[in-house]
Amino acid sequence: MNLGFCSSEISSGNMQGEKIENTRTEISKSGINEPFLGLIANIILTHCGFIIHWVERHILTSMEHCSYMIPNINLKKLFPCLVILILLPSNSLATSECNESELNFNIIKTIDHQPNSFTQGLEIKDTRLFESTGIYGSSSLRELNMSSGEVIREINFDEDIFSEGISILNDSIVMLTWREKHAKIFDIDTFELIGNYNYTGEGWGLCNNGDNFIMSNGSSKLAIRNIYDFNISSLITVKENNKEISNLNELECVGNLVYANIWKENRIISINITSGIVQNSISLESLSHNQKDADSVLNGIAFSEQDNYFLLTGKNWEKIYFINLTTFNESNISCNDIESDISKFNQITNYLSKNVFLSIISLVAITIFVMPGSWPAFTFLFFRTFIRQHEQLTTSGINTEEEED
């Protein structure tokens, strides 16, 4: 049995898509602009296919009930599906299996990396590659050959300097220091020291999007800093599945996203710099063979705008990896669209489940005027509503007793 779309031809994915599109067109022509009805129509069109599969197992099994449905879809036939939506348990449909957040990667090629390079920052400027390395007494700033990984030139720092992340802005390189509370500014061509910025706390990772510097300090917060004077304009807390992600390390800005290493984790995350929400996670466990000890962790991200690929490496690794990112989600439907529809669905069900009278009146009206003769379905739906309301009342009573205790 199919509700609203009861046809033997519905098995075709293309046919179903055409029917949905036709229904959307009909809704548009009807001139119904009320937000609530529009919301309902949108939810039904998106999710009715899932509901049909569930209802087929619970209500009507005989194909004779298809006679209750007219092949040509119009607004009136959307309401039976809506009622099923309303009366199903709230946890039976309002879930999403969308997994757009996980990304995979393909290795394009590798180049050699100096095994004594305790990588803290990695940056690309056109076809030039720069790296900062840490450890007191071994800190340096280097330019590398992008074809071979060979060190073209470098400057070494005093034993009281622990180099951290770097970011290229115009013709200068800004390099953080770990606990020295200042950033050094170098001329990109000569490595001449031309200035510095002061800050409080530790410095870990740094990148810029042309408008602001974004800086990490090993916590779950990213500091948005003025590009001219390095003052903090705002702080962003990074969260993944509502959980704060700490130990944010090396950073790379790409558009509105910030890609970040997480210290001692074999993955990279991309962060929406406006909200702080983790958009994607890229597992790099397959590169963990490069880790020879507890300190040789994944660290170092650079993005080539010119060729649209990333460079990755780690502390004391022997290779730098050129990679492309790919998605696991093969669907053309955006996860954001699915989550939005689920949110709307929950709004409708929560509203109607709290209004028993409205639900019952809707059932009676639909049964009498839209689905005459379908009393078995009506009986089931009425029973479902009664059970739901009974469960809500019971739960409410238990909560009241607990509060009194």
For the whole model, what pTM was predicted? 0.60
Which pLDDT belongs to residue 102? 72
Using the predicted structure, report yes or no on whether residue 150 has a pLDDT greater than 70.
yes
State mean pLDDT over 289-310. Answer: 92
Q: Which CATH architecture has domain 102-327?
A: 7 Propeller (2.130)
Which pLDDT belongs to residue 204? 97
Which pLDDT belongs to residue 292? 87
State mean pLDDT over 96-107. Answer: 66
375 φ, ψ (degrees, to nearest 5): -65, -30
191-205 residue pLDDT tens: 999 999 999 999 999
Specify the higher pLDDT residue, 66 or 325: 325
Report residue 354's pLDDT band, with 50, 70 and 90 as the boundaries: low
Which pLDDT belongs to residue 66? 39
Report residue 366's pLDDT band, with 50, 70 and 90 as the boundaries: low
- What is the DSSP secondary-structure string of 22-35? HHHHHHHHHT---H
Q: Give the per-residue SS3 of 184-245.
A: EEEECCCCCEEEEEECCCCCCCEEECCCEEEEECCCCEEEEEECCCCCEEEEEECEECCEEC
Which pLDDT belongs to residue 25? 46
Residue ranges per structural domain of the chain? 8-96+333-404, 102-327
State the Cα–Cα distance between residues 66 and 63, nearest whole angstrom: 6
What stretch of H or E contains 142?
A: strand 140-144
State mean pLDDT over 32-38. Answer: 44
* CA nearest neighbour of 232 among 199, 270, 186: 199
Which pLDDT belongs to residue 187? 97
215: left (phi over 0), alpha (psi -120 to 50) or beta: beta
Q: Which of 205-219, 284-298, 365-379 is predicted least confidently?
A: 365-379
59-86 residue pLDDT tens: 333 333 333 344 444 544 555 555 555 5
Q: Which are the contacts of 195, defined by CB distance < 8 A and separation ≥ 6? A: 184, 185
257-276 residue pLDDT tens: 999 999 989 999 999 999 99
Q: Which of 283-287, 293-297, 324-328 is predicted least confidently?
A: 324-328
* CA nearest neighbour of 253 among 291, 205, 219: 205
